[in-house]
């Protein structure tokens, strides 16, 4: 039973560039949430995807966008990268419906120089 997977593991980008991160949910899960974890901080909710639509969004600018595919995998896109976007980006999967436990992937470490 595959857990949550993310790619790539690490990424280095330059300010102003664009980046795409990928996530495959745990088998049987249909909902994907994305979080940003700055060094020494707790994860911060970016947005959630269900049925290929953004269902909820945290306090992040429009530079952050996403997509969910029919197989429930998801992408996070960040445009016009800023130095402050450097962080660990975590994907979490869960089942739709009422509040359920979320299982995290290993994350993508993004460094913006």
Partner 1 sequence: GENVEQHPSTLSVQEGDSAVIKCTYSDSASNYFPWYKQELGKRPQLIIDIRSNVGEKKDQRIAVTLNKTAKHFSLHITETQPEDSAVYFCAASIRGSQGNLIFGKGTKLSVKP
> For tokens 């330059």, what's the residue?
14
Among 24, 25, 26, 50, binds partner 1 (CB under 8 A): 50
* Cβ-based nearer residue to partner 1, 9 or 14: 9
Among 105, 108, 110, 112, binds partner 1 (CB under 8 A): 105
If binding is defined by CB under 8 A, does position 48 make contact with partner 1? yes
Characterize the bridge pairing of strands 19-24 and 5-7: antiparallel
Among 25, 66, 74, 107, binds partner 1 (CB under 8 A): 107
Q: What is the dihedral of CA 75, 81, 83, 88, to 10 degrees?
A: 0
- What residues numbered 62-101 form the site for partner 1, per CB under 8 A? 90, 94, 96-101
**First-to-last C-alpha distance (Å) of the chain:** 37
Number of chain residues interacting with partner 1 (CB under 8 A): 29
| Contacts for 74 with CB less than 8 Å, ≥ 6 apart | 22, 23, 25, 32, 34, 49, 66, 67, 68, 91
Residues in touch with partner 1 (CB under 8 A): 4, 31, 33, 40-45, 48, 50, 55-56, 58-59, 90, 94, 96-107
């Amino acid at each position: 039973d595959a857990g949550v997977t993310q790619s790539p593991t690490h990424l280095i980008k330059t300010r102003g560039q664009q980046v795409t991160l990928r996530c495959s949910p745990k088998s049987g899960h249909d909902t994907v949430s994305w979080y940003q974890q700055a060094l020494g901080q707790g994860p911060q909710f970016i947005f959630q995807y269900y049925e290929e639509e953004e269902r909820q969004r945290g306090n992040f600018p429009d530079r952050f966008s996403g997509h969910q595919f029919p197989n429930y995998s998801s992408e996070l896109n960040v445009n016009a990268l800023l130095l402050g976007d450097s962080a660990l980006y975590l994907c979490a999967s869960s089942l739709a419906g009422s509040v359920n436990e979320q299982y995290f992937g290993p994350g993508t470490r993004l460094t913006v120089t």
